[in-house]
Amino acid sequence: MVNLQNRYYITSNRESGFGRYDIMLEPKNETDDAIIIEFKVYNSRREQSLQDTVQHALEQIKEKKYETELLDRGISKKRIRRYGFAFCGKEVLIG
Instruction: Give the pTM.
Output: 0.91
Q: State how far the Cα of 51 lies from the Cα of 36, in Å rounded to an integer.
A: 18
Residue 17 scores a pLDDT above 90: no
Q: What average pLDDT is seen over the chain?
A: 94
Is the pLDDT at 29 greater than 80, yes or no? yes
Tens of pLDDT along 30-40?
889 999 999 99
Running DSSP on this structure, what letter comes out for residue 48?
A: S
Per-residue pLDDT of 79-92, as tens digits, reads 999 999 999 999 99
CATH code for the domain of 25: 3.40.1350
Total Cβ atoms within 10 A of residue 50: 19
Mean pLDDT of 22-47: 95
The predicted model gives 51-70 an average pLDDT of 96
Domain, as residue range, for 55: 2-94
Total domain count for the chain? 1
